[in-house]
Amino acid sequence: MENTPHHMLLMVSILVLILCISSLASSASLKVGFYSSTCPSAEAIVRSTVNKAISDNPGIAAGLIRMHFHDCFVRGCDGSVLLASTSGNPVAERDNSINNPSLRGFEVIEDVKTQIEAACPQTVSCADILAFAARDSALKVGGINYDVPSGRRDGLVSIGDEVPQNLPRPTLSGDELVTNFARKGLSVDEMVTLSGAHSIGVSHCSSFSKRLYSFSDTSTQDSSMDPSYAATLKTKCPAPPATTDPTVALEPSTSIRLDNKYYEGLINHRGLLTSDQTLFSSQSTKEMVQSNAYNGASWAEKFAHAMVRMGSIEHDSNGEYSSSHASMVSILVLILCISSLASSASLKVGFYSSTCPSAEAIVRSTVNKAISDNPGIAAGLIRMHFHDCFVRGCDGSVLLASTSGNPVAERDNSINNPSLRGFEVIEDVKTQIEAACPQTVSCADILAFAARDSALKVGGINYDVPSGRRDGLVSIGDEVPQNLPGPTLSADELVTNFARKGLSVDEMVTLSGAHS
């Protein structure tokens, strides 16, 4: 497949592989006990693993809670913070400088996922595991317990540049924090309440050193910080130009206990970050800080509620849903959208029900046998359907052979030859169908059925295929690179390419995510 433009041409093939190994949480709404019948041990596995990890390293609790927060604020709570960078996406969320190297706990989530996959394969999403792990961390170090609604779908897209666009910076003012959280559907009180998570964990000196050494043109030190506290911090954080970036506790008095001491620190002008201290300095949030400082039980109850609310974020700031390690419904829609790029004016389910009732059964049995003999054929047939639809519509022209008058047909263009596989399966099906129903079923429809049956065989994905496509008579190799999206296209060029085929920006982005 060396000559194949890898950015988009293999996306449907890779989609099948991802479906084989990914969790398919198919519910669009979250509910408590989502896995009670499909994986009843899931939450117990998470809790026992998290408890052990925190016992070994108490700082992991803050890391897991922070990871859940960083996941939810970028593309919604879809587990995209867990996705690794790739050659095609060199900086995923976890490798943005805001998260790397400070974000901790990936090894705990990986440990949990391994155990859950052994118990309940392809059932529990990574996004839900992370939500459970954050809850269990709060319970372990703060005694705060709450039910976690689950059923989140895992995302396929993780873009490092989106991290600073969505996460609140440590230098934000009170009003800026209110706006940032409001974009995620969270109230002012929930923002102040969730900030209490800063009672545990650490921060790098670089996140607040300006408050110590170069606060403004008129003052080197932030006057809102207690002088004795600032003096202590200066012993731990070097003055610029610093060659190291040490860490200090966000709230030193109970640094491994999730409690309301954080708010007491703010009242005493011992907030470490600008975004911490501003909660007490700002009139709109000052009373909330005081209330939380004076009533720890009330704060803990509100914290549990706010964590559930944050864990329900499903849209990014633009309102775009971040779908799961490719949710089944999304994939079916996308495949059907591609299939609808046909040369026939009207497609319908059951088109051959009277003229060739055995057609779809013949395709399915032949495809199943071929995949059983060679599992890689499934990817080949889905990819062939994609290549067919994007050049001249879904007309079977990718199947036509080169001739003396047309020496390079689509199938023999270097993009398709020798990488495109499965022609022998389609030929086998066509031979059987012609014997049963001569000159009735188009090759374009056979290919659409074969793609569907491949998805069913290796991914458990089934759907009705509207049929009635007409086979094309023209197949020109030079049209392949003119129509299939190349690996060097910009985002705007990809949008234009897919739009020419009647596919939306969201469908383009979703399919591109499968390539990750």
3-state helix, strand, coil split of the chain in percent (to 5) is: 50, 5, 45
Helices and strands, counts by H and E, the chain: 22, 2
Q: Which two tokens stand for residue 285?
A: 């949030």
Kindly report the number of other CB atoms within 10 A of residue 136's CB atom: 25
Question: 411 and 400 in contact (C-beta within 8 Å)?
Answer: yes
Q: Which residue has the tokens 């400088």?
A: 97
User: What residues does 203 pair with on adjacent strands?
Assistant: 248
Of 113, 137, 107, 139, which Cα lies nearest the Cα of 42? Answer: 113
Q: Is 501 exposed, middle or buried (0-12, 13-18, 19+ CB in 10 A)?
A: middle
Question: 149 and 308 in contact (C-beta within 8 Å)?
Answer: yes
Cβ-count burial 186-217 (b if 16+ within 10 Å, e if not): bebbbbbbbbbbbbbbbbbbebbbbbbbebee
Of 390, 377, 482, 470, which Cα lies nearest the Cα of 420? Answer: 377
Question: 512 and 494 in contact (C-beta within 8 Å)?
Answer: yes
Say how far apart CA 476 and CA 480 lie, in whole Å: 8
Catalytically annotated residue among 6, 7, 68, 70: 70
Say how far apart CA 287 and CA 236 lie, in whole Å: 32
Q: Which residue has the tokens 């270097």?
A: 414
Say how far apart CA 418 and CA 469 lie, in whole Å: 26
Say how far apart CA 141 and CA 54 lie, in whole Å: 8
Say how far apart CA 213 and CA 211 lie, in whole Å: 6
User: What residues does 508 pair with on adjacent strands?
Assistant: none
Clarify whether 70 is annotated catalytic: yes
- Residues belonging to the active site: 70
